[in-house]
A and B are shown apart, each in its own frame.
Chain A
Amino acid sequence: MDRESLISLYRQMLLIRVFEDRAAEMYAKAKIAGFLHLYNGQEAIAVGAVSALNPDDEIVVNYRDHGWALARGCSARAVMAELFGRATGTTGGRGGSMHLVDVSRHFWGGYAIVGGHLPLAVGLGVAAQYLGTGRVTLCSMGDGSTNIGTFHAAMNWAKLWNVPVIFVVENNQYAMGTAYEVHSAVPMLTKAAGYNMYAEEVDGMDVMAVREAVCRAAERARSGLGPSFLNMVTYRFRGHSMADPDVQRSKEEIAEWRKRDPITRFADEVLLKRELVTQADLDAIRKSVEEEVEDAIQFADQSPEPPLESLYDYIYMQPVSNMQIGGSLIRPPKLGGRVAPNGKHHVSAQTSYA
């Protein structure tokens, strides 16, 4: 990789880190609501993996998806606005933190039911295979996903149909608060072995290692060798979500993993060591990243909430002529008058009271 590309990897990881820290702050300030799962510590996986893929390769991830969206090129503005629930977000405030998406970038979204997106990723792979597009589908998941039925159904199907899919386990050692040894009967790679699937264990906190592993897996997929399984060992520096008091992990354990911080490691062991940058360069990058995130926060805060009239948009992509929402009315209309707004599918003639 050339200097610019390496610096770009660093900047992306740092952007994710700063973004997540500020998101935590915005959550504490109640600008963000619901669930917020942060990516601190795992930045190398999204950044390294995306750098190894073509722009039209498919990406499907779980709900810890901010890093993936940013790595795939979604703007910090759009992602932050989505967290704020604003019209300018990646889904116009529909999905929130767990459901970022940008289909124009072949980023098919974050999915919030553990393991639920694995069959879907296989399906994207089957479509690519059937249509001969040559695209590879990358599907990331947490280690906790590897015990649920859909994991096994998806692994079996992918191998059975030789689907061009890369399963990436972001093995951060905990399924929410349950440690790996407590939730998994067998070592991770054994699960791939059970399906006779090509598998690698990867240092998930080394962006270059991630990139190279995904390159190999994508190459295999493109050359017709089928699915791969990459166990990327990593650690999240924050709790499972903002509501997690993080008492189940010892301070010593967290401190130990922090020594392997993918961002400082990449700076120290690659950029500075190879004299590709100076500390001043790194400081300038940090400053620009902080400005970008601050701008995203301002943008999100000033963005409008989605219009109420949009509530019924895309209930169906192909509307039905004489439907009433829900088979009934949202609430009783005015006697003999118009009905509550129901978006594109509003048919006043049929919705007045008898």
Chain B
Amino acid sequence: MPEITYREALKRALREEMQRDPTVVIWGEDVVAYAGGGAYGVTAGLAKEFPGRVRDTPIAEEAIVGVGLGAAMGGLRPVCEIMTVNFTLVAWDQIVNHVAKQSHMFNGQIKVPMVIRTPNGHGRTAATHSQNFDAWFASIPSLKVVAPATPYDAKGLLKTAIRDDDPVIFLEHLQLYSTRGEVPDEEYLIPIGEADYKRRGKDITIVTWGRMTIESLKAAKILAEEGIDVEIVDLRTLRPMDVPTILESVRKTNRAIVVEEGWRTCGLGAEIAATIQEQAFNYLDAPVARVAGLEVPMPYARNLERATIPFAEDVVEAVRAMMRNEY
């Protein structure tokens, strides 16, 4: 199977869906002209291919989301790009008070088939540009929240998200855009709400998503050499979460570590750990542990940034400690 980048996989998904459905449009800051299309090149070339359907917008995230919402209500399927997840904060009222309220509050009279694409990430970009709000998004009823880790998942999930009749927050990652993976040429879709075993193992379950899936896979390779057989559940969808798959794995391995990039307090790891103990308590052989980002505004300095974000070695350490019965 051909290998392509995560970025290219996203673009193919956008292209295929735009070819398929003329109501799909792409709006965002610098999605047309800048650097050929998109701050991270995801939409490069699409404006030429689909005249009038890919449009640059003002730097006004509340309007990008709000106008996208109205257009979705009015019959379009907008894919709104927010340049980075940090800027979604400007649109938070639109996302929480409007996008996420329509279908339920108006008793099914309004549907909102829109996608908000935005990358998590860091890269020496300091405190306001290196954040992760996965848990915030995932805490909002009526949102669907997706965070693919691989090019394959990115393509399949973005296509599904565009076709979905509910608003989907589509969380990408700066550090993943250039990663490569196998993506078939044929069309496929990945359902929202289904986790994926990225590795089968018997000793310990790692529940993770997004970039931390890749780091966890690296960790699993190191641990395998030590005889520790790690199972990796890549959530792919953060809301609604595939709890049955998490439980299935934990019931087998009896141990779980949640690996997340964001802050630990009130992070998604807390939710997952609570869910495991609620529903699989009798299967646990150790407390559910968490590997998470350190709770500081992200510093700029190279060494401090690196210390703040979890990497494969942190996952390795956590797994070893649990296997040594230290938790």
Contact = CB atoms under 8 A, between A and B. Distances in A.
Contact of B141 (A126, A326, A328): A326
A156 B58 contact: yes
A68 to B, nearest CB: 15
Contact of B109 (A101, A118, A156): A101
Interface string A326-354: 11110010000000000000000010011
B194 A322 contact: yes
A324 B58 contact: no
Interface string A307-334: 0000001111110111111111100100
A128 to B, nearest CB: 6
Contact of A154 (B63, B72, B103, B142): B63
B85 interface: no
A328 B280 contact: no
Interface stretch (B41-49, B243-251, B255-263): B243-251
B241 to A, nearest CB: 4
B278 A328 contact: yes
Contacts of A130: 23, 25, 71, 76
Contacts of A95: 105-107
A127 interface: yes
Contact of A320 (B109, B192, B279): B192
A84 interface: no
A131 B63 contact: no
Contacts of A322: 193-194, 242-244
Interface string A100-126: 011100001101010011111111111
Interface residues of A, number: 58
B76 A99 contact: no
Interface stretch (B6-14, B92-100, B294-302): B92-100
A58 interface: yes
Contacts of B112: 317
Interface in B104-158: 104-112, 138, 141-142, 144
B166 A316 contact: yes
B140 to A, nearest CB: 10
B70 A119 contact: yes
A137 B191 CA distance: 35
B105 A153 contact: no
A316 B142 contact: yes
A92 interface: yes
Given A314-B108, A354-B283, A160 B58 contact: yes
Nearest to B242: A322
B73 interface: yes
Given A317-B103, A324-B240, A128 B74 contact: yes
A123 B68 contact: yes
Nearest to A161: B55
Interface residues of B, number: 65
Among A109, A123, A128, A353, the most chain B Cβ lie within 10 Å of the Cβ of A123
Interface string B145-183: 000000000000000000011100000000000000000
A124 B272 CA distance: 38
A99 B58 contact: no
B60 interface: yes
A121 B17 CA distance: 25
A274 B237 CA distance: 66
Interface in A124-182: 124-128, 130-131, 137, 149-150, 153-154, 156-157, 160-161
B74 A126 contact: yes
A318 B70 contact: no
Interface string B6-36: 0000000000000000010100000000000
A16 B107 CA distance: 24
A328 B103 contact: no
Given A150-B66, A157-B58, 11 more contacts: A119-B69, A120-B70, A123-B68, A126-B67, A127-B75, A153-B66, A160-B58, A314-B103, A318-B164, A320-B192, A327-B138
Interface of A: 58, 60, 91-92, 94-95, 99, 101-103, 108-109, 111, 113, 116-128, 130-131, 137, 149-150, 153-154, 156-157, 160-161, 313-318, 320-329, 332, 350, 353-354
Interface of B: 23, 25, 55, 57-58, 60, 62-63, 65-76, 78, 93-94, 97-98, 103-112, 138, 141-142, 144, 164-166, 191-194, 237, 239-244, 247, 251, 271-272, 274-275, 278-283
11 contacts: A58-B74, A94-B106, A119-B65, A126-B74, A130-B23, A130-B25, A130-B76, A150-B63, A157-B58, A326-B141, A354-B282
Q: Which 6 A-B pairs have the closest CB atoms?
A: A123-B70, A119-B66, A127-B74, A323-B240, A320-B193, A153-B63
